[in-house]
Amino acid sequence: MPRLPSTRKPRASSQSRIVGILAAARELLAEQGVAGLSIYSVAERAEIPPSSVYHFFASVPALLEALTADIHSAFRACLQEPIAHASLRDWRDLSRVVEQRMLAIYAGDAAARQLILAQHGLTEVNQADRLHDIELGQALQTLFDRHFPLPQLPDDVDVFALAMELGDRVYARSVYVHGSITPRMAEEGIRVFDAYLGLYLPAHLPKRHLPNTPS
């Protein structure tokens, strides 16, 4: 089974170099897409020797896997931002808050649109994205349960991860047809997300009196 990249942190100097490499890759993805990316073009943009890029990333797919992990860290961070519990009338209000935060990340990050939503055909990147989606789905389920007591969910289906993937399919179509996630297709993606969750969550799920304290 594929594994997520190691979470062990490199030394500060190495981390600084990695940040520069990923920033250069982001810029190139925004300008040229995945097809225009190479170790040499990233090295040129980062103003370092290609050997320095190879030192950290053995191939373009390895570089893109790391960038995918970086993008998903932004998605996880948006789930950790405060939620106004008193403003939530039902669970769909929470799903809208979450989806709008994720849409804001897509809107502001061309690399996220290229790697998560575009049709690039890179198996390694797609596998990394799905593995990160599982983690993100678990974090999302925890967030929902903090505000709404969830019913028993199936053990053999990652309901929240699958809901996100289905919403992303709509956003991907919008990027393919329009070059961006249009307001209309953003609404459709949220509707798809809610429709799938609605197969497992009651329409009138009672809200907790106070949100659960994160463990």
pLDDT in tens, 112-155: 998 889 877 777 788 888 888 999 999 999 999 999 999 999 99
Mean pLDDT score of the chain, rounded to an integer?
90
CA distance 93 to 203: 12
Q: Is pLDDT at 164 greater than 90 in this prediction? A: yes
pTM: 0.84
Using alpha carbons only, what angle is made at residue 69 by residues 63 and 75, rounded to the nearest 5 degrees?
A: 145
pLDDT confidence band for 5 (50 / 70 / 90): low
Q: Which two tokens stand for residue 135?
A: 């983690």
pLDDT confidence band for 11 (50 / 70 / 90): low
Q: How far is CA 209 from CA 88, 146, 147, 212, in A?
A: 11, 11, 8, 9
What ranges do the domains of the chain cover? Answer: 12-58, 63-197
pLDDT at 21: 94
pLDDT at 1: 47
Polymer length in residues for the chain: 215
Question: Do residues 69 and 4 touch, judged by C-beta distance below 8 A?
Answer: yes
Q: Which of 9-13, 22-26, 209-213 has the lowest mean pLDDT?
A: 9-13
pLDDT in tens, 185-210: 999 999 999 999 999 999 999 999 98
Q: Which CATH architecture has domain 12-58?
A: Orthogonal Bundle (1.10)
CA distance 90 to 206: 7
